[in-house]
Amino acid sequence: MLTSSTEAPINSGRLISILELCGSLKLTLALLTVLLLLTVLGAWIPQASVTDEAVYLEKFGTEGSVLLNSLGLTNAFQSPAFLFSIALLFLNLAACTAVNMGPRIRKKFAGQDFTSTVKIRHMKQQTSVHVTKSLEGTAKDLIAHFATSGFSARRAGNRFIFEKGKIGWLAAPVTHLGLFILLIGISVTAQGGYRGVVNVNTGESMEFPLQDKKPLIGKLPKWRLTLNDARKEDHPTGEVRQWYSTVSINDSQGKPIGSGTVSVNSPITVGGIDIYQSDWALKAIKLRIDGKDLQLPVQPMGSQFMGVMQIMPEFMLIGVLPSANAPMRLFFKHDGHPSPKLVATLDQNQTFKLGDVEITNAGTVVTSGLQYKYDPGLAIVYVSFLFLTVGAYLVATPSHRIFAEIVEDDDNNCDIVLGSDQTKFAGLIKRELCKVENALGQPNPAEVALNER
């Protein structure tokens, strides 16, 4: 008869140690809940690292901003509550691994204990089937039945263990191991890595501003980065498709170390340092007026860039262009006239003569935002990603274990007692037990009900 027991598993009688407390499931769930809430709050409330004070004042008012600040929610992911919860979660993971995983792994390699009828009857899913056959005949039928469902059988006397999907149980150990490796990787990055952003104009060079970085491993390079060229590629419809920066890097003696073209999604690595394209901006129009070079700073105005310069008390020069390499439209505005007057459209290096004054479009100045990063922990983090992915896939892999014992009565008939304490995919176990009843014993109401659905 198939029944479900709600009784607690037999208490081993061990004293609850601090380790067990630290590794308890209740603590795991409490920490996951705290982390979940803090993460949701951190996602909802703009974080201080990327938000100005004014945004908080506008969104939450003065009192709200002060309250959020004092609760640490404007920096939720660096808040003591979040970091403490993460630390506790790893302590919990370590304790859980020591208390639960260790014995489980040992048992897996040493061999699972065969279980008695008394213990099977206390399991969450259990059933018994009466068979009018001898012990050996029943055992043979039982093994054959489970073999058709893909179970492998192990036997010790009258006791059996039927197993299917042997790798599913590895889900938790592999995932937990992945999390530990992730923690190590993040720690190595935090202690040994550095990052930053430099904004360089075309044709200019600058040193990596690394003075405040102090990696534990290795030395900080004294390199000089030169932005040889920066360009933008547009889609035919006018939207930006890609930004490119051609850079070269020299050491402190001017010896070339590396060079290449960086674009979004295509960083370059020089001497272990990754360089990324993170920003791009048209900064100024270069003009040559009567042989004198000057720069006209521009600002984005809709889809155009515009620069204004007062060249005489009553005259203003206005330069407008849609992109860095496009022709520039040159306007003049006189105080006496309400609207500017277009005087010329100049390609790059083209000259226009206004009276005696020669004006040449000498090109543009582009600023490229380049991010640099040195991350010695990245390889470890990637290994952890591999473990986490494999661990998560094992979650979806059912792993079934059914215990059985055959008890022979005085009339040479047998009772098969079957059970499992598995809660993961318990429905499948239930069906498997029903199948045994159906195949080897009398049909039961639960099986009939299952077939009726």
Partner 1 sequence: MSAEVTIANAAGLSSVAAFWVFVIGSNLRRAHQTIERLGAFVMMICFTCVNVALIMRTIEASRFPIANLYESLLLFAWSMLAAYFLLRRAYSLNNLGWLTALSVSTIFLYANWLPASQHDIAPLMPALVSNWRAIHVPPLIVSYALLTLGGLLAVGHLWTSNRRGTAIASVAAIAVSISCTAIGAFSSVKPLFLQLWFWGGTAVCLAVMAFSLKAERLNPVSASSRADLYDEISQRCISIAFPLLTFGIITGALWANHAWGAYWSFDPKESMSLATWFSYAAYLHLRAKADMSDASLSVVAVLGLLLTLVTYFGFSFLGFGGLHSYGQLSK
Which chain residues interact with partner 1 by CB under 8 A?
6, 8, 25, 28-29, 32-33, 35-36, 39-40, 42-44, 46-47, 49-50, 59, 77, 172, 195, 235-237, 239-243, 263-265, 267, 274, 276, 278, 371, 373, 378, 381-382, 385, 388-389, 392-393, 395-396, 423-425, 427-428, 430, 446, 449-450, 452-453
Nearer to partner 1, 184 or 344 (CB): 184
CB of 28 to partner 1, least distance (A): 6
Nearer to partner 1, 78 or 252 (CB): 78
CB of 99 to partner 1, least distance (A): 12
Q: Do residues 222 and 207 make contact, with C-beta atoms less than 8 angstroms apart?
A: yes
Q: Do residues 405 and 127 make contact, with C-beta atoms less than 8 angstroms apart?
A: no
Dihedral sign, Cα of residue 92, residue 95, residue 99, residue 101: positive
Residues 6+ apart with CB under 8 A from 232: 240, 242, 243, 244, 280, 323, 324
CB of 414 to partner 1, least distance (A): 28
DSSP letter assigned to residue 148: H
The 10 Å CB-count burial string (b at 16+, else e) for 226-263 is bbeebbbeeeeeeeeeebbbbbbbbeeeeeeeeeeebb
Nearer to partner 1, 352 or 425 (CB): 425
CB of 179 to partner 1, least distance (A): 10
Q: Is 122 helix (H, G, I), strand (E, B) or coil?
A: coil
Nearer to partner 1, 26 or 255 (CB): 26
Query: Tokens for 358?
Result: 């020669």
* CA angle (22 as vertex; 17, 24 as ends), nearest 5: 90
Dihedral sign, Cα of residue 179, residue 180, residue 182, residue 187: positive
CB of 130 to partner 1, least distance (A): 23
Query: Tokens for 417?
Result: 């007692």
CB of 371 to partner 1, least distance (A): 5
Nearer to partner 1, 247 or 446 (CB): 446
CB of 239 to partner 1, least distance (A): 5
Nearer to partner 1, 329 or 400 (CB): 400
Nearer to partner 1, 34 or 153 (CB): 34
Nearer to partner 1, 388 or 440 (CB): 388
Helix or strand (DSSP H, E) at 189 = helix 171-192
Nearer to partner 1, 48 or 308 (CB): 48
Cα–Cα distance between 224 and 416 in angstroms, integer? 79
CB of 233 to partner 1, least distance (A): 9
CB of 285 to partner 1, least distance (A): 24
CB of 83 to partner 1, least distance (A): 13
Strand partners, 387: none
Under the phi-then-psi rule, with left for phi > 0, alpha for psi from -120 to 50, and beta for the rest, what region is 165?
left
The H-assigned helical ranges of 23-115 are 25-44, 53-70, 80-96, 102-110
Nearer to partner 1, 240 or 311 (CB): 240
Show the 3-state SS of 245-287: EEEEEECCCCCEEEEEEEECCECEEECCEEEEEEEEEEEEEEE
Cα–Cα distance between 426 and 237 in angstroms, integer? 57
Listed residue (162, 142, 144, 165) closest to 152, CA to CA = 162
